[in-house]
Amino acid sequence: MFPGQTRWLVLIVLSTCLSAGCVTYSLRQSDIYQALNNGDYAFALQVLETQKAGRRDRVLYQLNKAMLLRLSGDYLASNALLEEAKGTMQRLAATSITENITSVAVNEATRSYAGQPYEHLFLYVYKALNYLALSQPDSARVEMLQADVKIKEWLADKSLEGVKASAFMRYLSGLVFEMLGEWSDALIAYRKAHEIYRHNERSTPGFLQHDLLRLTAFQGLQDEHRMFQQLFGLEDWPAMQALQDNAELIVVHGQGFVSALQQQLIYSFSTELKHNVQIALPHYAEFYPSVVPVSVGIDQKWLQAGPVENLEQLVRDNLAARLPGITLRAVARVVVKKKLAAEARDEHFFAGVVADIAGLVTEVADTRSWLSLPANIQLLRVVLPPGEYRVRLPGHDRTERIIHLQAGEKKIISTHSSSTYH
């Protein structure tokens, strides 16, 4: 019985190896990643468009292209692609029987990439930011509500590994609700953002402290207001009336790009084979650029933005949460490959050698991730009297814009800089 099966499995493994290319995703995307970090988004888009969007990596193609279009200012096209990516991710959320079988025999990169939980969240975030750039806060609101539903879906999904929360996603929800005058929903979103910062043992940004104090006071939640006042040690913050009489300028700045996953070959003990086996795991390089505070020039003043999301840390935490599962599956896979090779060798020496080589060559780490996400996001929220302002935005060309602000208006501007500029 075994010889027949082995023969076919060896052929399947070999053919899959040939089709998979046996090269890691991050290696295949190195040109794009380098162009991104050099701030050459047009070239990165050009390279991406010359690549064939494979079925397994389609989501990443859509996400990266959407991000590059956004960086080029084409928000409509970016959102069309993000919507496509959302549909693809939804379809791929169902477990594929054939892909799971192949991933056990070959490697995890043979599965269609359905996106990490944080990538799902940032899809909604960037779609919302695109809608805000297009002056469509109602549509941005829809994205934020969908992100909330997605988080609810994950609550009961114990099989889902990785980070499933984003403080910035919650903060942006609050901002959108505030823009639409939905104070109660805004406060709920701000509370959730504050809870995520606390949970991650990070300090709550100053602007969020102001928001919580302002909205609890406005809604007459005296106990909660006192609690926040004691917690933050603040005596002064912009009151609701001040915001309605004045305008707000909100600059959301993405800095650099998250690190690319790399492949690492390590030895792990197999209880089944009773010896060490070599497995390929994804990992991040130890060193990465730290957060460089950015500032925004408003007329004669320079104001410093505050960190609102450290995506570099988030992707690393996400990998750390997934790594035990990845390691277990990798060891199990190598055991299967070794056993198949032994069975093949029993039948035919040449078949055994081929199976062994195929097993080694196909042991490739799944290094797929959304590479065009910023390494960190910083935010500046400032109250200004209505009028015209000369604003110098962060970014590699220090773009200067003349901005008109009306009373009660909240103007959100998104900017980005590659890692070498700030």
Which two three-digit tokens encode residue 89?
């991710």
Q: Name which position in 156, 236, 302, 397 contacts another protein (CB under 8 A).
A: 156
Which two three-digit tokens encode residue 269?
């003990």
- Please give the DSSP secondary-structure letter assigned to residue 29: T
- Please give the DSSP secondary-structure letter assigned to residue 414: E
Binding status of residue 153 toward another protein by CB under 8 A:
yes
- Least Cβ distance, residue 85 to another protein (angstroms): 15
Q: What angle do CA 109, 115, 15 make, to 5 degrees?
A: 20
Binding status of residue 184 toward another protein by CB under 8 A:
no
Q: Is 108 exposed, middle or buried (0-12, 13-18, 19+ CB in 10 A)?
A: buried
Residue 56: CB atoms within 10 Å: 18
Asked if residue 118 lies in contact with residue 315, where contact means CB atoms within 8 angstroms, the answer is yes
Span interacting with another protein, options 141-149, 214-222, 305-313, 373-381, rule CB under 8 A: 141-149
- Least Cβ distance, residue 220 to another protein (angstroms): 24
Taking Cα atoms as reference points, which of 63, 91, 90, 88 lies closest to residue 78?
63
- Of 98 and 300, the one with the shorter C-beta distance to another protein is 98
Binding status of residue 345 toward another protein by CB under 8 A:
no
Binding status of residue 270 toward another protein by CB under 8 A:
no
Asked if residue 190 lies in contact with residue 171, where contact means CB atoms within 8 angstroms, the answer is yes
Binding status of residue 42 toward another protein by CB under 8 A:
no
Q: Which residues contact 251 (CB under 8 A, 6 or more apart)?
A: 296, 305, 379, 380, 393, 394, 412, 413, 414, 415
Q: Name which position in 98, 230, 271, 300 contacts another protein (CB under 8 A).
A: 98
Asked if residue 295 lies in contact with residue 398, where contact means CB atoms within 8 angstroms, the answer is no
Secondary structure (DSSP) of 275-286: EEEEEEEEE--S
- Of 98 and 230, the one with the shorter C-beta distance to another protein is 98
Q: Name which position in 51, 139, 219, 327 contacts another protein (CB under 8 A).
A: 139
Binding status of residue 181 toward another protein by CB under 8 A:
no
- Please give the DSSP secondary-structure letter assigned to residue 290: P
- Least Cβ distance, residue 159 to another protein (angstroms): 9
* Distance in angstroms (rounded) separating the CA atoms of residues 98 and 209: 50
* Distance in angstroms (rounded) separating the CA atoms of residues 397 and 414: 14
- Least Cβ distance, residue 324 to another protein (angstroms): 22
Binding status of residue 1 toward another protein by CB under 8 A:
no
- Of 40 and 83, the one with the shorter C-beta distance to another protein is 83
Binding status of residue 149 toward another protein by CB under 8 A:
yes
Give the phi and the psi of residue 165 in degrees, each rounded to 5: -145, 150
Q: Name which position in 155, 230, 236, 300 contacts another protein (CB under 8 A).
A: 155
* Distance in angstroms (rounded) separating the CA atoms of residues 84 and 82: 5
Taking Cα atoms as reference points, which of 199, 131, 210, 129 lies closest to residue 165?
199
- Least Cβ distance, residue 319 to another protein (angstroms): 24
Contact characters 3-32, another protein, x per CB under 8 A: -x--xx------------------------
Span interacting with another protein, options 86-94, 207-215, 356-364, 390-398, rule CB under 8 A: 86-94
Binding status of residue 146 toward another protein by CB under 8 A:
yes
Q: Which residues contact 18 (CB under 8 A, 6 or more apart)?
A: none
- Least Cβ distance, residue 357 to another protein (angstroms): 15
How many amino acids of this chain bind another protein (CB under 8 A)? 29
- Least Cβ distance, residue 8 to another protein (angstroms): 5
Q: Name which position in 59, 63, 308, 351 contacts another protein (CB under 8 A).
A: 351
Calculate Rg over the CA atoms of the chain: 25
Binding status of residue 157 toward another protein by CB under 8 A:
yes
- Least Cβ distance, residue 97 to another protein (angstroms): 6
Binding status of residue 128 toward another protein by CB under 8 A:
no
Q: Name which position in 90, 304, 399, 420 contacts another protein (CB under 8 A).
A: 90
* Distance in angstroms (rounded) separating the CA atoms of residues 416 and 78: 15
Q: Point out which residues bind another protein (CB under 8 A).
A: 4, 7-8, 90-98, 138-139, 141-142, 145-146, 149-150, 152-153, 155-157, 347-348, 350-351
